[in-house]
Structure 1
Amino acid sequence: MARKKRRTHVKVDETTANNPNAQKIPKSFVFKSGHVGKSVEALVRDVRRVMEPHTAIRLKERKSNRLKDFVAIAGQFGITQFLIFTRTDNGTNFRLTRTPRGPTLCFKVLKYSLIRDVLASQINPLSFGSKFHTPPLLVLNNFDGEENHLKLMITMFQSMFPSINVNKIQLADARRVVLFNYNPDTKIIDFRHYSIGVKPIGITKSVRKIITSNVPDLHEYRDISEFVLRDGHISESEAESGVEATVTLAQDFVGKINKKSDQRAIKLIEIGPRMELQLVKIQSGLCDGEVLFHEFNKKTPAEIKSMERERQKKKQEAALRRKEQEKNVERKKAEREAHRLATSGRAISESKDEEIEDDDEDSKDEDNYNEDEDEDEDEEDDDDDDDDDEKDEEQHEQQQSSADEMDLDPKYLEN
Structure 2
Amino acid sequence: MAKRRVRNLRTNPLQRKTRTHQPVEDETDPTKKAPKSFVIRSGAVGRSVTALVKDVRRLMEPNTASHLKERKTNRLRDFVMVAGQLGVSHFMIFSRTEKGTNMRIARVPRGPTLTFKVEQYALAKDVLAMQRSPKSPGVEFLTSPLLVLNNFNQEGKQFKLMTTMFQNMFPSINVQTVSHSIAMQLADARRVVLLNYNSDTNMIDFRHYAIGVKPIGVSKSVKKIITTEVPNLADLEDISEYVLREAVISESDVEDGPESTVTLGQDYVGRGNRQSEQRAIRLHEIGPRMQLTLTKVENGLCGGEVLYHHFVEKSSTEIKAINKKRQEKAKLTAQRRSKQEENVKRKQQEKEEHRLRTGGAPAKKDDEDEENSGQESDGDEKIASGDDESGEDDESDGIDDLEDMEE
- TM-score, normalized by the shorter chain, greater than 0.5: yes
How far off its partner does 1:236 sit? 2.9
Unmatched 5+ residue regions in structure 1?
1-13, 347-415
One-letter amino acid of the structure 1 residue matched with residue 162 of structure 2? M
| Mapped contact 1:109–1:278 kept (Cα < 8 A) | yes
The answer for the alignment partner of 1:5 in structure 2 is none
How far off its partner does 1:244 sit? 1.7
| Mapped contact 1:250–1:260 kept (Cα < 8 A) | yes
Q: Secondary structure, in 3 states, of the residue corresponding to 1:186?
A: coil
Q: 148-157 vs 320-329, which deviates more? A: 320-329
Give, in whole Å, the separation in 2 of the partners of 1:139 and 1:58: 27
| Mapped contact 1:247–1:263 kept (Cα < 8 A) | yes
Determine which of 122, 127, 152 is the counterpart of 1:118.
127
| Mapped contact 1:109–1:275 kept (Cα < 8 A) | yes
| Mapped contact 1:82–1:99 kept (Cα < 8 A) | yes
Change (3 A) 1:73 1:345: closer
Give, in whole Å, the separation in 2 of the partners of 1:279 and 1:229: 52
Q: Secondary structure, in 3 states, of the residue corresponding to 2:266?
A: coil
The answer for the alignment partner of 2:274 in structure 1 is 259
The answer for the alignment partner of 1:66 in structure 2 is 75
Give, in whole Å, the separation in 1 of the partners of 2:342 and 2:334: 12
One-letter amino acid of the structure 2 residue matched with residue 311 of structure 1? R
Counting only pairs closer than 5 Å after superposition, residues 182-197 of structure 1 correspond to structure 2 as 182-197=197-212
Counting only pairs closer than 5 Å after superposition, residues 176-325 of structure 1 correspond to structure 2 as 176-325=191-340
Query: Given the alignment of the two structures, is residue 37 of structure 1 paired with residue 85 of structure 2, yes or no?
Result: no
Give, in whole Å, the separation in 2 of the partners of 1:63 and 1:177: 34
| Mapped contact 2:221–2:246 kept (Cα < 8 A) | no
The answer for the alignment partner of 1:10 in structure 2 is none
Deviations 1:201-249 (A, max 9, x none): 1111111111111131324423211001124342134223222211100
Counting only pairs closer than 5 Å after superposition, residues 359-378 of structure 1 correspond to structure 2 as none
Q: Percent identity?
A: 61
TM-score by length of 2: 0.79
The answer for the alignment partner of 1:393 in structure 2 is none
Q: Secondary structure, in 3 states, of the residue corresponding to 1:180?
A: strand
Give, in whole Å, the separation in 1 of the partners of 2:154 and 2:266: 36
Deviations 1:312-351 (A, max 9, x none): 11111111112111211211111111011111089xxxxx
One-letter amino acid of the structure 1 residue matched with residue 44 of structure 2? H
The answer for the alignment partner of 2:87 in structure 1 is 78
One-letter amino acid of the structure 2 residue matched with residue 104 of structure 1? T
Give, in whole Å, the separation in 2 of the partners of 1:321 and 1:281: 30
Aligned length: 332
CA RMSD of aligned residues (A): 1.6
Give, in whole Å, the separation in 1 of the partners of 2:249 and 2:272: 21
The answer for the alignment partner of 1:88 in structure 2 is 97
The answer for the alignment partner of 2:349 in structure 1 is 334
Q: 318-327 vs 91-100, which deviates more? A: 318-327
| Mapped contact 1:32–1:41 kept (Cα < 8 A) | yes
The answer for the alignment partner of 1:374 in structure 2 is none
Query: Given the alignment of the two structures, is residue 156 of structure 1 paired with residue 165 of structure 2, yes or no?
Result: yes
| Mapped contact 2:262–2:281 kept (Cα < 8 A) | yes
| Mapped contact 1:205–1:233 kept (Cα < 8 A) | no
Change (3 A) 1:273 1:345: closer
Higher helix content, 1 or 2: 1
One-letter amino acid of the structure 1 residue matched with residue 125 of structure 2? R
Highest relative contact order (Cα 8 Å, sep 6+), 1 or 2?
Answer: 2
Deviations 1:116-135 (A, max 9, x none): 00110111112211100000
How far off its partner does 1:20 sit? 4.8
The answer for the alignment partner of 2:393 in structure 1 is none
Unmatched 5+ residue regions in structure 2?
1-21, 362-407
Greater C-alpha Rg: 1
Q: Secondary structure, in 3 states, of the residue corresponding to 1:339?
A: helix
One-letter amino acid of the structure 2 residue matched with residue 185 of structure 1? D
Give, in whole Å, the separation in 2 of the partners of 1:46 and 1:280: 23
